[in-house]
Amino acid sequence: MGFLIYKFRRRHLSIYEVIECFLRSNNELAPIRYSYSDIKKMTRGFREKLGEGGYGHVYKGKLRSGNDVAVKMLKKTGGNAQDFMNEIATIGRIHHINVVKLVGYCAHGSKRALVFDFMSNGSLDKYLFNQEKMDSLDWDRKFDIAVGVARGIEYLHRGCDIQILHFDIKPHNMLLDDNFIPKVSDFGLAKYFSKEKNSVTLTAARGTIGYVAPELINRGIGTISYKADVYSFGMMLMDIVGLKRDLAGNNDSSSKYFPYWIYDHINQGKDYTEIGCVDENDAAREVGRKMTIVALWCIQMNPNDRPSMNEVLKMLEGDVERLLIPEFPSQSTQIVGNVDQTGTTCSSDYVSFPHLDDSFPSVEIITVQE
């Protein structure tokens, strides 16, 4: 028993040593290192909880300067040490209006925390999946949010000294400030590479079911690159327009690969206002139509058929009349699987299906049953 306790303690000490070594060797970090005592003071003993997830809990805090912050306390598990270092290594050295700012962090034994600027309007999913809050966002604001997120992702891909692939783009990870300016957040699954690399190698799938790119599940579809983030952004655009809610309510189409369901509706003569619930004025319908077309390009099955985020921005900011609907994907590339009631994929094929709630966390390894 004593030997087992010794091994357990050594294993955990080695995790802490890895983190400490990383923090000591990384001289490019701008965020402040706080003690655990500092964290308790700024959160007033973790009094006000803002939310929780598979990573841990988020609390509201206040710095001595008076600025409000959000403090993410990570769970006491060894598995999130890499996620912790990922977040610090990525957002700890970059600054962009559409990327959340990391104010500081805490690494004290098993206590690990990340301190961010406080976003008063919370995360985007709170608006997209709540009808009352959804109604509070007009189409101009939805469009501005979509463009802001696209700029943030494009900066990660090409605006930094390194190429940062997020691998978990979804509404839950888009935070909104006082003016509803979106900030890309949660870099726990992110990886960074040389900007010259056009493809990357991963040992495991990364992302959240419903947003993860198909090539991350089935490597036969194509190489893994920044196009995986483009796919996830396209699925999020579908959320913003409201398309996935329609599919969720259509029981006959629940197992159909999502883009084919949209093409079926278009082929039936339905326009974008019927597909995306855009029932307002002409300007609103134009915005809905533009985001729908861009989303269709982003979620192409073949990564080579998807635009870059720079091209996505050009399409979003350009004239909708100049946008072409991508061709219906070849039947030979159609991948159909069966989705069970829990929302997990039950075949070796890939299915992109409607929004799932917070009970389905981000994953690093997705097991697909044969």
pLDDT of amino acid 243: 75
Q: What are the backbone dihedrals phi and psi of residue 162, each rounded to the nearest 5 degrees, phi first?
A: -120, 165
Q: Are residues 99 and 156 in the same domain?
A: no
| pLDDT band at residue 284 under the 50/70/90 scheme | confident
**Contacts of 198 by beta carbon, 8 Å cutoff, 6+ apart:** 223, 225
pLDDT of 305 > 80? The answer is yes
Q: Are residues 112 and 186 in the same domain?
A: no
Tens digits of residue pLDDT in 47-64: 999 988 767 899 999 999
pLDDT of 146 > 50? The answer is yes
Q: Does 360 map to a domain? A: no
| pLDDT band at residue 343 under the 50/70/90 scheme | very low
Tokens 């000591």 — which residue?
A: 24
Tens digits of residue pLDDT in 153-197: 999 999 888 899 999 999 999 999 999 999 999 888 888 888 888
Give the span between the Cα atoms of 174 and 144, in whole angstroms.
Answer: 13
> Rounded mean pLDDT of the chain?
77
State the Rg of the chain over Cα. 21
Q: Does 292 map to a domain? A: yes
What's the DSSP call for residue 20? H
Q: Are residues 217 and 107 in the same domain?
A: no
Give the span between the Cα atoms of 1 and 6, in whole angstroms.
Answer: 9
Domain count, the chain: 2
- Which two structure tokens, joined as six digits, stand for 348? 């070796």
Whether residue 309 contacts residue 230, with contact meaning beta carbons closer than 8 Å, is answered with yes
Beta bridge partners of 184: 99, 174
**Residue 240: which domain range?**
125-333
Tens digits of residue pLDDT in 257-269: 666 777 776 666 5
Q: Are residues 87 and 162 in the same domain?
A: no
pLDDT of 11 > 80? The answer is no
Tens digits of residue pLDDT in 235-279: 999 999 887 655 555 555 444 566 677 777 666 655 554 555 555
- Is 168 in the active site? yes
Tens digits of residue pLDDT in 70-109: 999 988 755 556 777 777 777 777 889 999 998 988 988 7
Q: What is the pTM of this model?
A: 0.78
Q: Are residues 218 and 316 in the same domain?
A: yes
List 168, 186, 229, 239, catalytic entry:
168
If phi over 0 gives left and psi between -120 and 50 gives alpha, with beta otherwise, what is residue 223? beta
Among 92, 117, 142, residue at a domain's last position: 117
Q: Are residues 283 and 326 in the same domain?
A: yes
Q: Are residues 193 and 251 in the same domain?
A: yes
Q: Does 356 map to a domain? A: no
Whether residue 78 contacts residue 12, with contact meaning beta carbons closer than 8 Å, is answered with yes
Give the span between the Cα atoms of 83 and 91, in whole angstroms.
Answer: 12
Give the span between the Cα atoms of 10 and 55, in whole angstroms.
Answer: 23
Q: Does 365 map to a domain? A: no
Q: Does 74 map to a domain? A: yes
Whether residue 298 contacts residue 230, with contact meaning beta carbons closer than 8 Å, is answered with yes
pLDDT of amino acid 279: 55
Query: What is the CATH number for 261?
Result: 1.10.510.10
Q: What are the backbone dihedrals phi and psi of residue 73, each rounded to the nearest 5 degrees, phi first?
A: -90, 120
Q: How far apart are the first and last CA of the chain?
A: 40
